[in-house]
Amino acid sequence: MGKIAFVFPGQGAQHAGMGKEFYERSEKAREIFDLASKATGLDIPALCFEENEKLNETQYTQIAILACEAAILGAVWEAGLAADVSAGLSLGEYGALITSGVLDMETAFRVVRQRGIFMQEAVPTGGAMAAVIGMDGEQIRKICQETEGRVSVANYNCPGQVVITGEDTAVERAGMALKEAGARRVLPLKVSGPFHSPMLEGAGKKLAEVLKTVTVQAPVIPYVTNVTAEYVTEEEAIKELLAKQVASSVLWQQSVERMIADGVDTFVEIGPGKTLTGFLRKIDCSVKGFSIEKPEDLEKVLESRGNR
């Protein structure tokens, strides 16, 4: 039997009501939501479950998504399902850190609350992001380098979908050049800033200061980091990679390919939505992909694995 990977989505997957069914039906999930409230001083259930403006503000979005992911993870563990490796897209990497035993949940909640604040504060005026559809990632990277102004690749999501980030005028110029070079579509994204751009290096430096006060453990199971798409097995590199991640490209496609090469044949997406499961189908349709957002999703995964 092949390996199983737990993977966690990032910002953009949030929606009102996320995690509510687990909160209502799992005592473990309820405890974790309440722990997130205690760790941050926020009413996390209200933030996640009720229609509100804050859920789409970066400083609140990040902690809300992580709390939802951690609560579902707690219920998944309690049901007896475990991972061999883990990874997460951008913010989702903190779900992977919890899975791997690098950070305890309370510490992860505190760090991510600060990360969200720092990223919101660091957002410069005139930043933008756009999804480029139907073009090779390396070609996109080269065109960004040749474009006047600050524009770079934010995310390598899957074949045919790459996100660019930077100054709004540079992103617009790069978008025009990419269309001329053969990109099928360039879609501006509704985001509050140029995330995973060097323009956010200041937020990464502030996060590095917070991480100096935090204890990290050696991974109990390996996780794959966004920055290099390689396994992290020693604790020495973790803090530097997390600080760097804020302003670096997210190598998601490469991370998934790395796990598949290492024998992972089942990916379980934990958290709101099915974004990563959709990417997985485009990266390699021969491996299995499941998403767990509601208790019935967990039941389906357990049945497929013979746990029930």
Distance from first CA to last CA of the chain, Å, rounded?
17
Annotated active-site residue 196? The verdict is yes
Secondary structure of 214-248 as H, E, C letters: CCCCCCCCCEECCCCCCEECCHHHHHHHHHHHCCC
Considering the candidates 90, 248, 249, 255, report the single residue annotated as catalytic: 90
Q: Tell me, what amino acid is at 190?
A: K
Annotated active-site residue 90? The verdict is yes
Which are the contacts of 241, defined by CB distance < 8 A and separation ≥ 6?
225, 227, 228, 232
Q: Record the tokens describing residue 122, joined without a space.
A: 């660091």
DSSP state of 123: P
Considering the candidates 100, 152, 196, 248, report the single residue annotated as catalytic: 196
Q: Is 50 helix (H, G, I), strand (E, B) or coil?
A: coil
Q: Tell me, what amino acid is at 21?
A: E
Instruction: Count CA atoms within 13 Å of residue 293 on its CB side.
Output: 16
Are 191 and 243 spatial neighbours (Cβ–Cβ below 8 Å)? no
Tokens 């485009």 — which residue? Answer: 282
The rounded distance, in Å, linking the Cα atoms of 231 and 200 is 25
Tell me the catalytic residues: 90, 196
